[in-house]
Amino acid sequence: MQFGKHKITPCLWFDTEAEEAANFYVSIFKNAKLGTISRYGEAGQDVHGKKPGSVMVATFEIDGQSFVALNGGPQYKFTEAISFQVPCDTQEEIDYFWNKLGEGGQEGHCGWLKDRYGLSWQIFPSILPNLMNGPDAAKTQRVTNAFLQMKKFDLGAIERAYAGN
């Protein structure tokens, strides 16, 4: 995998699950592929403390966006301060990503979930930004009231709220 398609490449810090997580994410997204796996050697073992031959970095790509998964140790954990957004065109797509990414994780509110590694995702209808930025404040308010009651987004309920039904 080469860098350069995008100026920024997210680096995700794991304890020991980098390769497993990279394979997990690649299995969920259609246009995704695993890249290179780099391993720790003898050099720097006094600093990193990792067993020689264990995975240091696993690279992967989703829809042309490169990612690096780093096995850096247990000292850092993911928080909701960083999340990945997945806009979905249909309820089936919302259900798919919600179920796949949320498997072994934790559901949140308003389309948020944590995957099995603690990484936060926002699974939401791709039409939501348009519904929220329209000129009709009453419609926006109804949509907001509807989705604030949800964990996983219900596209039909949001569309009905927008229409006033």
> Quick one: how far is CA 42 from the chain centroid?
33
- Domain span at residue 55 reads 11-71
Nearest to 23 by CA among 10, 12, 33: 33
Do residues 109 and 56 both lie within one domain? no
Read off the pLDDT of residues 54-110 as tens digits, 9 standing for 90 and up: 999 999 999 999 999 999 999 999 999 999 999 999 999 999 999 999 999 999 999
According to the model, what pLDDT value does residue 134 have?
84
Nearest to 10 by CA among 75, 57, 74, 73: 57
**Arithmetic mean of pLDDT, 22-43:** 96
Selected residue with higher pLDDT from 85 and 134 = 85
Q: Judge whether 96 lies within some domain.
A: yes
Residues of the chain above pLDDT 70, percent: 97
CA atoms within 13 A on the CB side of 160: 8
Strands 120-125 vs 112-114: parallel, antiparallel or unpaired: antiparallel
Do residues 41 and 92 both lie within one domain? no
Q: Report the CATH number that the domain containing residue 138 is assigned in CATH.
A: 3.10.180.10
Q: Judge whether 28 lies within some domain.
A: yes
Q: Judge whether 101 lies within some domain.
A: yes
DSSP 8-state class, residue 138: H
Tally the domains of the chain.
2
**Arithmetic mean of pLDDT, 22-26:** 98
Do residues 95 and 60 both lie within one domain? no
According to the model, what pLDDT value does residue 102 have?
98
Least confident stretch, 6-20, 46-60, 120-134:
46-60
